């Protein structure tokens, strides 16, 4: 979120040999924030982790400090990944696949770590339906300070999908033409539109190519579409629990959720908290596709044989519905479901899905969750069959589709094995030469 205390902003000079030639540059755009070290102590102040162009600060505390008191260490710079998202603003009309357009576009994003000299350490993460750009928050165990993808070795980027309510342009954003939020009138987006938006951000960040492009579920759809659209955008592609075209089964689940949301008559009131009951019901439907019989049987079974109501499974569904209502928005949820349904790598590109998949040039790892009901392994096996030279792996999980978020240890093992095998191939090839 952007700080609205513009009148309290002040410039400050930071003296640090870490900044090289930028040792005396000014830092503005102040925001409430994070880790900072003053001589002899810690203060809730910090720098953004890569560009060191913004000082994230407690404004009241900052006013008491002198420039020469600010001393930053590499450790504190690396820990700045807890900051609020940065915002990329595109002040032109953004054309959509359906012929409509957005008068302007903002994309919220997080970066972690440092871009190396040759730009070869970029990991770009595409997130799933209701996630945000802080991948260190929702994919812990795979992304983190001590995990496979860490800010010491990699420069990690994750952007919030347009249509969401976590900082990127979406239904709660103001329509500059009408001077009020879009709400239900926000135009439908496609997966291709999301990729087009991220291409703008990639250019803004000056990133030529990714080491790895990775995503699961809807994030996998975005990653795949990107790898087909821009064949040289990434050296490696990791697709988890996703597909080449959203299935009738998946669309049916999504339509059931949209029906639940729109059955809430407040959906058409165009208010920020509209359709909260409908959104809770939609989440309950979605959970049935994310988990499965065995998951519920193990985690929600009632041991009290005298019960005739208020069952554990019932309270769990209500709890999860309320939990989503408290952190998400019904209008964004509908538009992101629409985007998922639009996913089809062959549309306006090739005659067949198989032909579209053959366009992928990145070294590709495809991972299935054995118990996934929503994106069953048959869909990932199809990807592996038609993406040239791809590698297929399957992990087991009692958590169904949600296994792609939960089974991070298994995912780390599979992904590490994939890159170790690729490295071995390169060594063998070099030895033969």
Q: Which residues are catalytic?
A: 217, 372, 401
Element (H, E) at 90: strand 86-90
Burial of residue 53 (CB within 10 Å: 0-12, 13-18, 19+) is middle
**Pairing mode, if any, of strands 174-175 and 180-181?**
antiparallel
425 vs 419: CA distance, rounded Å:
10
- Eight-class DSSP state of 66: -
C-beta atoms surrounding 396 within 10 Å = 11
Q: Which residues contact 112 (CB under 8 A, 6 or more apart)?
A: 49, 50, 81, 135, 136, 143, 151, 154, 155, 156
Greatest CA separation found in the chain?
A: 74
Q: What angle do CA 360, 363, 369 make, to 5 degrees?
A: 90
Q: Which residues contact 177 (CB under 8 A, 6 or more apart)?
A: 103
29 vs 11: CA distance, rounded Å:
9
C-beta atoms surrounding 141 within 10 Å = 16
7 vs 113: CA distance, rounded Å:
31
Q: Let me know how long the chain is.
A: 433
Q: Which SS3 state, helix, strand or coil, does residue 211 take? A: strand
């Amino acid at each position: 979120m952007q700080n609205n205390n513009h009148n309290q902003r002040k410039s400050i000079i930071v003296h640090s040999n870490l900044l090289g030639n930028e040792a005396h540059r000014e830092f503005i755009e102040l925001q409430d924030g994070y880790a900072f070290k003053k001589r002899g102590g810690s203060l809730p102040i910090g720098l953004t982790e890569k560009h060191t162009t913004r000082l994230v600060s407690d404004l009241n505390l900052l006013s008491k400090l002198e420039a020469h008191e600010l001393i930053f260490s590499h450790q504190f710079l690396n820990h700045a990944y807890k900051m609020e998202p940065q915002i990329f603003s595109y002040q032109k009309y953004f054309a959509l696949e359906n012929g409509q357009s957005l008068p302007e576009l903002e994309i919220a994003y997080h970066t972690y770590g440092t871009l190396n000299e040759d730009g070869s350490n970029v990991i770009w993460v595409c997130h799933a339906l209701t996630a945000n750009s802080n991948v260190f928050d929702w994919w812990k165990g795979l992304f983190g300070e001590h995990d496979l993808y860490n800010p010491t070795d990699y420069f990690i980027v994750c952007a919030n999908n347009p249509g969401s309510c976590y900082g990127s342009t979406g239904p709660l954003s103001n329509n500059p033409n009408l001077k009020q939020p879009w709400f239900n009138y926000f135009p439908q987006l496609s997966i291709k539109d999301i990729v087009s938006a991220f291409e703008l951000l990639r250019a803004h960040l000056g990133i030529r190519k990714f080491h790895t492009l990775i995503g699961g579920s809807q994030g996998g759809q975005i990653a795949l579409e990107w790898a087909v659209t821009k064949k040289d955008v990434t050296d490696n592609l990791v697709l988890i629990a996703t597909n080449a075209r959203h299935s009738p089964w998946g669309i049916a689940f999504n339509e059931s959720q949209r029906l639940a949301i729109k059955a809430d008559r407040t959906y058409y009131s165009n208010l920020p908290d509209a359709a909260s009951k409908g959104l809770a019901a939609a989440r309950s439907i979605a959970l049935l596709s994310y988990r499965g019989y065995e998951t519920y049987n193990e985690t929600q079974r009632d041991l009290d044989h005298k019960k005739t109501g208020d069952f554990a499974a019932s309270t769990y569904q209500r709890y999860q519905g309320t939990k989503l209502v408290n952190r998400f928005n019904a209008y964004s949820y509908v538009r992101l479901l629409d985007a998922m349904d639009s996913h089809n790598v062959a549309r306006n590109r090739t005659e067949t899905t198989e032909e579209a998949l053959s366009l992928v040039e990145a070294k590709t790892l495809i991972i299935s969750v054995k118990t996934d009901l929503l994106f069953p392994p048959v869909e990932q096996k199809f990807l592996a069959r038609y993406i040239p030279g791809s590698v297929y792996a399957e992990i087991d999980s009692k958590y169904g589709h949600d296994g792609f978020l939960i089974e991070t240890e298994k995912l780390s093992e599979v992904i590490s094995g994939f890159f170790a095998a690729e490295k071995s191939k390169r060594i063998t090839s070099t030895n033969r030469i």
